[in-house]
Structure 1
Amino acid sequence: MPRLLVINPNTSAAVSALLQQHVQAVAGEALAVQTTTARFGAPYIASEAGYAVANHAVLDAWAAEVAKNGRPDAVLIGCFGDPGLFALREGAGVPVGGLAEAAFSAAAWHGRFAIVTGGDRWRPMLARLAHALGHTQTLAGIHTVAPTGAQLAADPVGARRLLAEACCQAAERFGAQAVILGGAGLAGMAADIASQVPVPLIDSVQAGAQWAVEALKRKEAAGSGFGVDWQNVSWELAALD
């Protein structure tokens, strides 16, 4: 059975458990899902600084996993923001995807889409990522709520109420044909509030899992080899070509 490595770029074991549960549920018997947690960085990424460190943490987590268990068949970056996506895709040698990239593609099938997520600092970060992934024209707008993803996950009842209202507001304000509920910590919440939202609601974790299943069916091509003479990094990362 093909093996999917899910990398949680933050240090929260609770988020890793949530990712494991929801990604495996979507993958079913098609994939063996293994989730690994960043060895350093922010407990929950909610700033440019946390995101910058997460880029390194993703590469480090990949290297540690390869050293321990060998190369998986595909990698999913379990953060709505996809830190390390381009770097890992450059040299991993297997298909690499991220929650945001997968959700953007899924939402774009419906037309122009809006994003709802937790943490005000994510707005410019996600706008930059959407531009880099070619979604400048399809992204209708970004609506952030003040609580971070971690804070929302800690209060699921209040979070569902707040996020349902935010998704409705985003659909109306931006004239969106779909809304993405983005965030690893928000996995599963979209299904609970979808009936309250007037347009299709995309769960970023579910979209990521579906990407992985399809990527392995298509046997997507992938770059191989980083070509870096690493210095002063973990021994596992230094061992990568």
Structure 2
Amino acid sequence: MLERSSSSYRRRWGRSGALGFVLPAALVAVVFAWLVGLVRVPGLESPVPGVHAQIGGVPAARLEAAKASLNAIAVKGRAPKTGYTRAQFGQAWADTDRNGCDTRNDILGRDLADPTFKEGTRNCLVLSGTLHDPYTGKTIEFRRGERSADVQIDHVVPLSDAWQKGAQQWTAEKRLEFANDPANLRSADGQANQDKGDGDLATWLPPNKAFRCEYAVDVVEVKGEYGLWMTQSEHDKAGELLAACRAE
């Protein structure tokens, strides 16, 4: 009788002891995640300096404007991709600003350090330069020719993504403007641009974490300016990224 009672006690103790161990362990895990910035507690910032700054920052006014813009962006599902071709957005790299240079060379000239130009092209045809690529953090030496594709021009909001989130309803003129808008274009590492494809914020982010804040702000600004919508997953990711941005 005594032995059964003792065994019963040990079984009961074992269950409650295990439970008592699991609960503190779970609590420790949550506290640790908060300390290193993996979870956010409203009104309570992680005490570890720089945890949220790892995705970079933007000027405070720009960040607040992006947050307001995100709140105004509609949330809908993707429309079918049916009918999408690059031609729906007009001639590739058209001279929409009428400065005599095509858009690709305009963006290369803007983004490359120490660009050189072909003589007689009114500083239009970029021959070489150095790209400090924000997407990867790499430094890439651009040379026109066989290695031209090492540096590509990325649409921050991809044309296919735009097509499925509102651009089908635009005029041809507006799609041409969008495809050549410098605010939606960035010189980037060719492989990173290929890896991105038509990914949105929910499916692709720059490998260089220090640039993710600015990238998210760029996307929100472009989508807000052109009235494009976001899927729920993209909208959630945009909110998460803006919340983690450092205001400068």
Shorter-chain TM-score above 0.5: no
| Structure with higher RCO (Cα < 8 A, 6+ apart) | 2
Largest Rg, 1 or 2: 2
Larger fraction in strand: 1
Q: Where on the TM-score scale, by shorter chain, does this alignment land: which range?
A: under 0.3
